[in-house]
Chain A
Amino acid sequence: SQQGEEDPQALSIQEGENATMNCSYKTSINNLQWYRQNSGRGLVHLILIRSNEREKHSGRLRVTLDTSKKSSSLLITASRAADTASYFCATATYGNNRLAFGKGNQVVVIP
């Protein structure tokens, strides 16, 4: 089942601005992951945050996880045109041998 739901679904920003995306899920998770997909390419793993972690950073990316609200956010700071892509969240749940991917967020960064 696909339980990750990203919000908003499409985002258009100017280069240099920050972009924030949210993801909600329904059941207890082992971890939550964010992926990027550039047009015509495969998904690329960005960051994994475990259920006992609240925040994680990787370069210009910042991910938060609120297990009480069953939600996560991905912040891209100082966006670049190359950040134009679709962003997916995916959850790994206990006893389920798969990742559940959300519908994806399209982010367009205007130079």
Chain B
Amino acid sequence: DTAVSQTPKYLVTQMGNDKSIKCEQNLGHDTMYWYKQDSKKFLKIMFSYNNKELIINETVPNRFSPKSPDKAHLNLHINSLELGDSAVYFCASSQGHNYEQYFGPGTRLTVT
């Protein structure tokens, strides 16, 4: 069974569109994260939730909105997509912020 899954794996869309990426973990973890990895492989944290509560909200445009319907799911909705949003987005989960993190396979977003 996949521990952390994301859908879709690839997402190609035009500027101005709205899209969502879904993430689910079956590890029973309380903490989930969204990261953005750019073309130089630099990994930047975007959001973190602990038991459905927002813990980290980095300086990202408010076009990005996370939603956690339960502690096993953390979805990412992006409004009015821009070219600069093109990147690979990773979901991750952990027992807590000092513990090892388990990453999903990533969603490669391409905005044209």
**Chain A interface residues (CB < 8 Å from chain B):** 2, 30-31, 33, 35, 37, 40-45, 48, 86, 88, 92, 96-99, 101, 103-104
Contacts of A101 in B (CB 8 A): 43
> What CA separation (Å) do A2 and B45 show in the bound complex?
10
User: Closest B-chain residue to A104, C-beta based?
Assistant: B41
Query: Is residue B56 within 8 Å, beta carbon to beta carbon, of the partner chain?
Result: yes
| A48-B100 contact in complex given A42-B90, A42-B105, C-beta closer than 8 Å | yes
**Interface SS majority for chain A:** strand
Is the pair B100, A45 in contact by a Cβ cutoff of 8 Å?
A: yes
Quote the shortest CB–CB distance from A38 to chain B (angstroms): 11
Q: Give the total number of A-B pairs whose CB atoms are below 8 A apart.
A: 54
* Interface members, chain B 88-112 (any A CB < 8 Å): 90, 92, 97-106
> What CA separation (Å) do A33 and B55 show in the bound complex?
21
Contacts of B48 in A (CB 8 A): 97-98
Taking A2-B43, A98-B48 as known contacts, 8 extra A-B pairs with beta carbons closer than 8 A to each other, sorted by chain A number, are A42-B92, A43-B43, A48-B100, A88-B43, A92-B98, A98-B97, A103-B40, A104-B43
Contacts of B102 in A (CB 8 A): 45
> What CA separation (Å) do A14 and B106 show in the bound complex?
30
Contacts of B40 in A (CB 8 A): 103
Is the pair A86, B90 in contact by a Cβ cutoff of 8 Å?
A: no
Is the pair A97, B97 in contact by a Cβ cutoff of 8 Å?
A: yes
> What CA separation (Å) do A77 and B48 show in the bound complex?
35
Quote the shortest CB–CB distance from A93 to chain B (angstroms): 9
Is the pair B98, A30 in contact by a Cβ cutoff of 8 Å?
A: yes
Contacts of A30 in B (CB 8 A): 98
Is the pair B103, A86 in contact by a Cβ cutoff of 8 Å?
A: no
> What CA separation (Å) do A97 and B47 show in the bound complex?
11
Is the pair A45, B98 in contact by a Cβ cutoff of 8 Å?
A: no
| A41-B106 contact in complex given A92-B97, A98-B48, A98-B56, C-beta closer than 8 Å | yes
Is the pair A43, B103 in contact by a Cβ cutoff of 8 Å?
A: yes
